[in-house]
Amino acid sequence: MKVKVKDKLVEFPEAVSAKEAAEKLHLTAPEQAVAVSINGRLKDFSTPLKEGDEVQFWGFDDPLGKEVFWHTSAHVLAQAILRLWPDAQPTIGPPLEQGFYYDFANLTISDQDFEKIEKEVEIILGESFKTERIEFADKDAAKTAFSHNPYKKELIDSFDDTSISAYRQGEFVDLCRGPHMASLGKIKAFKILKTSGAYWRGDSSREMLTRIYAISYPDKKRLKEYLVMLEEAKKRDHKLLGAALDLYSFKEEAPGMPFIHPRGLIIWNRLLDFLRSCLLEGGYIEIKTPMMMSKELWERSGHWFHYRENMYTSEIEDREYAIKPMNCPGCMLYFKSATHSYRELPLRIAEIGHVHRFEASGALNGLFRVRSFHQDDAHMFMRPDQIRDEINHILKLADKIYMTFGLPYRLELSTRPEKSKTIGSDEEWENATNGLKGALDDWGHSYRINEGDGAFYGPKIDIHIRDAIGRHWQCGTVQLDMSLPQKFELEYVDSDGSHKRPVMLHRALFGSIERFFGILVEHFGGKFPLWISPYQIRILTVADRHIPYAKEVAKKFQAKGFVCDVDDSSESVGKKVRTAQLLKTNYMLTVGDKEVENRTAALRTRDNIVHGEIDISDFLVKVEKERDTKDLMSPYSTAP
């Protein structure tokens, strides 16, 4: 039997399962295979392989590997909880970007219980259970199996398919679509992180459950590294740094709607200036559409039927309106307001639009999860043959933006879901997917394919950035949309005079600008590169008699566009230095009798290196270059 493994044809003398194939290929370590895809779909290792199957094994370092590893680990957590608290009722336990959680009804625990739970997990892992998939004939059979758990029965009733399964490990059986790892033996390190309350199915009118967050790894070294990263992340918490640096705040009077302070607005405006310079260079035009538009528009776009509960609405003169949760429909109206020729295509239309979405109060999280935010949206209208070039154009722009901030990234392509759940013809989907895939191949970066994970209206590319402490954030997205051009009957006049429907791409690179702001605060730990720093230069006076000279020097920097202020307080120089350092000030210039006499200053950088007396003009030349080139590294320091 021949199957394709990682694009290589492999022959087996007899029929094998995915697990047996992995063993024969010596892919047994967690870094090699903790999950398997067969013909683009995640499957259990027990799945028999067939002639011609395309097989991909995923190690723990692959996102799909982590997903299966952590989902299996969530069942271990639930098994431990039921051994310790038999009356608890498991509900759901999904994997997260980092780790997993499980929600339980009829359970009350505290931090003091974590060690006890971890010890029980160790016992379970030591028993090295194999995982077994159980398939039910129908919903009634599944509900009978989980008759003791009303939460599981409710989930079963909500399923729209007939294939319902559960997984067994030892005495523990849990409702689950899977897949799981073949054995629990690959889990070598396990840590309970925290507990919190969570409403059943995210509905504040439903029961409050106990949520337990945890993480697991195939070795203890990785767990230790993760815990160190968590400690570093606490120091970089953007909510705390934002307050310490006086960048923004959050008020009870406007939950989920941040207040940006003057120093924060310096960063905000620098980000927008940079973005707009990229748009100008990239051949975009920019528009601004109304924040509130009528119900009819949102019905036409489909948002009224599918997103209504997350929209803020109002009634004016007996007509219903909604504050926009996204910018797309407004751009459709703009495109439709004029006749377009094929000669205009591709037409790149950008909007830095202010949108509002209702998020449950318990989900709000600083700048990361808000109700009011700005999106750097753009919509590209083109002919089908232009898709590949346009994707390449977007990827080049993404690379420029992320690399400017020192943010490496990875790319993921999500393809067509089940055909019955999508719009558009087979030919349109093939052209669209080939255009995106061809552009990614041209780009030359490695990328992951998520088979069947695209939207109903088109395939997409997601861009995940990695910050300074190794966390991944999904910010950028490139989405091909065959739905809105159809719903809004968009057209262009082709070279033969016929009217044709354009292909449309959505794209956002910052994503939510507020969220990207928060990511940058944590990525840099508040120590911003000079070009976006809200505290670029501070001049410290030794005594009051040095104030006139300090202000004279400050004006030279201010005239060149720098954020420069003078600390002429009565505090000691040491205290002034400490205050400037707490504000992550890039450069501190101290002036005393000697500096006034020589028309110089004594330089200290924020890495606490004293550079001594410097010439003001020479310093100005260097920092202008650092700022204008958006350099991440100071010419005076080995640290940014």
CATH number at residue 605: 3.40.50.800
Q: What is the CATH number of the domain that holds 143?
A: 3.30.980.10
pLDDT of residue 62: 87
| Residues 402 and 342 placed together within one structural domain of the fold | yes
CATH number of the structural domain spanning residue 6: 3.10.20.30
Of 143, 374, 460, 584, the active-site residue reads 460
Cis status of the peptide bond prior to 346, with omega within 30 of 0 = yes
Question: Residue 264: inside a domain, yes or no?
Answer: no
CB 550 within 8 A of CB 576: no
Do both 394 and 495 map to the same domain? yes
pTM: 0.86
Is the backbone peptide bond immediately before 179 cis, with ω within 30 degrees of 0?
yes
Q: What is the pLDDT of residue 161?
A: 67
Find where tokens 């006890």 sit: 116
| Rounded CA separation 51/41 (Å) | 16
- Residue 639 belongs to some domain of the structure: no
560 flagged as catalytic: no
Q: Does the annotation mark 499 as catalytic?
A: no
Same domain, yes or no: 563 and 592: yes
Q: Do 177 and 38 belong together in one domain?
A: no
Q: Are residues 488 and 544 in the same domain?
A: no
CB 479 within 8 A of CB 327: no
Task: Label each residue of 103-127 as H, E or C.
Answer: EEECCCCCHHHHHHHHHHHHHHHHC
Residue 221 forms part of a structural domain: yes
In this structure, the number of other CB atoms found within 10 A of the CB of residue 165 comes to 15
Q: Looking at the structure, do residues 72 and 19 belong to the same domain, yes or no?
A: no
Which range of residues forms the domain containing residue 573?
A: 530-628
153, 506, 523, 627: the catalytic one is 506
Same domain, 510 and 462: yes
Q: How far apart are CA 284 and CA 351, in angstroms?
A: 10
Whether 375 is a known active-site residue: answer: yes
**How many domains are contained in the chain?**
4
- Quote the pLDDT of residue 639: 54
Q: Catalytic: 328?
A: yes
Bridge partners for 3 per DSSP: 10
pLDDT of residue 640: 47
Q: Considering the domain boundaries, does residue 301 fall inside one?
A: no
Say yes or no: 84 and 180 in one domain: yes
- 443 occurs within a structural domain: yes
CATH code for the domain in which residue 278 is found: 3.30.930.10
Last residue of a domain, one of 521, 554, 585: 521
541 three-class SS: strand
Considering 521, 538, 570, which residue would you say is the last residue of a domain? 521
Asked whether residue 51 falls in the same domain as residue 138, the answer is no
Assess if residue 84 is contained within a domain: yes
Assigned token pair, 504: 């449309």
Whether residues 34 and 80 share a domain: the answer is: no
Tell which of 501, 521, 541 closes a domain: 521
The alpha carbons of the chain give a radius of gyration, in whole angstroms, of: 28
Instruction: Please provide residue 184's backbone torsions phi and psi, each rounded to the nearest 5 degrees.
Output: -80, -5
Same domain, 407 and 477: yes
* Catalytic annotation, pick one of 56, 79, 375, 536: 375
Answer for the pair 637, 626: CB distance below 8 angstroms, yes or no: no
Instruction: Please tell me which residue in 62, 174, 377, 462 is annotated as part of the active site.
Output: 377
Q: Are residues 442 and 507 in the same domain?
A: yes
Q: Do the domain assignments include residue 579?
A: yes
- Domain-embedded: residue 317: no
The residue from 270, 324, 379, 507 that is catalytic is 379
331 is catalytic: no
Residues of the chain with pLDDT under 50: 640
How large is the angle between the packed helices 114-126 and 63-84, nearest 10 degrees?
110
506 is an active site residue:
yes
Catalytic site residue from 303, 357, 546, 606: 357
pLDDT at 437: 87
Catalytic residue among 278, 328, 331, 564: 328
